[in-house]
Structure 1
Amino acid sequence: MERIGLFGGSFNPIHNGHLHLVQVAKDRLHLDRVILIPARVSPFKQQHPDMASPEDRLEMCRLAAETLPFCQVDSYELEQKAVSYSIYTVAHFRRKFPDAALVLLVGSDMFLSFCSWYRWQDILRNVALGVVSREADDQAALRRQQAFLMQYGKIFLCESPVYPISSTKIRENCKNAVDFSCYLPKKVVQYIISHDLYQSRQEFLSGKGGDSL
């Protein structure tokens, strides 16, 4: 049976922390592939003032996916013209892959608020949850939440070193002319600069870091 990870989010922009989560989940949960699903309108970020266009976020996801051979991108949520509730996305991929084992990948922050998600019990009837920690001291809280939610479905916790970066921090660096290139794949950095996203500046071309230009 194929094991497929589903990883949705605003990806504004997608960064190395997202890719770290994907790689950890792939390794720990023995996934055959992971599908990145950029949201058109996240139910948690509907009024975000710095949201890049759906087209830009989709292309950045495609560029980032090139760094992971098992990763692909799906535009399903961007095509819906509505708030991207996970239950509808899960139902779509359940229909698309009826015989696969589906695992919805989430960071620890989203996992701890999972019971506020729209129709969360229905989500757990259709997919397992794969959780990757995003904070250094959240393991006890994650285990408590796992113990509660296990009565509704399968919950997998993936322990891994924390990757402390956020899209918010990257956008702030862009606005303040601070180098951000070490936080993203090289082609995503190039895309942000060439399309002048998040008020980026050309001086980042000389930035230092593992993925700098």
Structure 2
Amino acid sequence: MTHSPRAGDEVAAQAPPPVLAMDGDELDGYSFPKNKFISMKHAAKRDSRHRSQDKVPLVLVACGSFSPITFLHLRLFELAKDWTKYPRTEFEVVAGYLSPVGDAYSKAGLATAKDRIHMCQLALEADADSRSSWVMVDDWEARHTEYQPTARVLDHFNYEINTRMGGVEMPDGSRRTAKIVLLAGADLISTMSTPGVWSQEDLQHILGDYGAFIVERAGTNIDDALASLEKWKSNIHVIHQLIQNDVSSTKIRAFLKKDMSIRYLVPQMVIEYIEKKNLYTDAQSRQAALNGEVAAS
């Protein structure tokens, strides 16, 4: 487990990842969402103890299928934000993003990108007036017809926030480079420690250049997973769940196929959308097969 740096601690200087020109402007109709950024100025006015001027602006990026999105996906953001506050760290969360994978990602149970994006938007819409309204859906990854590696997705956020936006405005009016990190469950780190699954180049870019906030999951030995990622341990922050939540999209799909209730596991507006579109059912799979499509099992 990593040491949790407090504000005021001496933290080794880390050069930000190289900012590359991206192709967002070339995607027809694409616009980077930034309307829910948390103002560092407002944070400082609310609580001077936050010492926002000394903080590193933090952007949490959760990549995944979200097929469908669950309450646990949303809880990841809250757990990560709480971790930055207790004990107080050098970070100040300014934004969170859900980045659904595109249709080119071949995976059983994958609804269309259009459906998954809409479900993510509905999940956040239901929470629009709450304190979690700083989380947004970015469809840049999902708009691509080719699969976009996680490292490139993080590059996209780095480009949009630190180049096009010029970083984050601080309380004194200056602008500071935001730290972009991958937010994920411990099951992802487990795959990163499995030989041959991820390239060393991608691991260096994701964990070394950016960093990761990892929330523990039942059934995953986080210590074993981190053992082979020792060289990046200072940039991997482990967050423990005080209340274990083992909900997963796979289990939700299994419930739906058995005609079992998923109420209180998935946002109600998402449930209604699933029912309306007849998603994740055997009937949907049979229809997809008749249409010559890949069945969403």
- Whether these two folds match at TM > 0.5 is yes
Tell me the SS of whatever aligns to 2:272: helix
Cα–Cα, structure 1 residues 149 and 41, in superposed 2: closer, same or farther, change >3 Å? farther
- 1:31 corresponds to which residue? 93
Equivalent of 1:6, from 41, 46, 61? 61
Unaligned segments of structure 2, at least 5 residues: 1-55, 85-91, 163-176, 284-297
Matched, 1:172 2:254: yes
Cα–Cα, structure 1 residues 88 and 139, in superposed 2: closer, same or farther, change >3 Å? closer
Alignment of 1:94-109 (within 5 A): 94-98=158-162, 99-109=177-187
Alignment of 1:44-63 (within 5 A): 46-48=106-108, 50-63=109-122
- 1:111 corresponds to which residue? 189
Whichever residue aligns with residue 61 of structure 2, its letter is L
- 2:136 corresponds to which residue? 72
Shift of 1:131: 0.4
Equivalent of 1:154, from 206, 212, 235? 235
Q: In the alignment, is the contact (CA less than 8 A) between 1:42 and 1:85 conserved in 2?
A: no
Q: Separation in 1 of the partners of 2:276 and 2:81?
A: 31
Tell me the SS of whatever aligns to 2:250: helix
Q: Separation in 2 of the partners of 1:123 and 1:131?
A: 13
Percent of residue pairs identical? 27
Q: In the alignment, is the contact (CA less than 8 A) between 1:26 and 1:32 conserved in 2?
A: no
Shift of 1:139: 4.2
Q: Separation in 2 of the partners of 1:187 and 1:102?
A: 30
- 1:210 corresponds to which residue? none
Q: Separation in 2 of the partners of 1:173 and 1:86?
A: 29
Equivalent of 1:133, from 195, 201, 216? 216
Q: In the alignment, is the contact (CA less than 8 A) between 1:35 and 1:73 conserved in 2?
A: yes
Q: Separation in 2 of the partners of 1:167 and 1:174?
A: 11
Query: Root-mean-square deviation (CA), in Å?
Result: 2.2
Matched, 1:121 2:121: no
Q: Separation in 1 of the partners of 2:264 and 2:104?
A: 26
Cα–Cα, structure 1 residues 144 and 175, in superposed 2: closer, same or farther, change >3 Å? same
Tell me the SS of whatever aligns to 1:178: coil
Q: In the alignment, is the contact (CA less than 8 A) between 1:36 and 1:74 conserved in 2?
A: yes
Q: Separation in 1 of the partners of 2:214 and 2:63?
A: 13
Unaligned segments of structure 1, at least 5 residues: 202-213
Whichever residue aligns with residue 240 of structure 2, its letter is E
Shift of 1:200: 8.5
Shift of 1:32: 2.1
Q: Separation in 2 of the partners of 1:200 and 1:28?
A: 40
Greater radius of gyration (CA) = 2
Q: In the alignment, is the contact (CA less than 8 A) between 2:256 and 2:281 conserved in 1?
A: yes
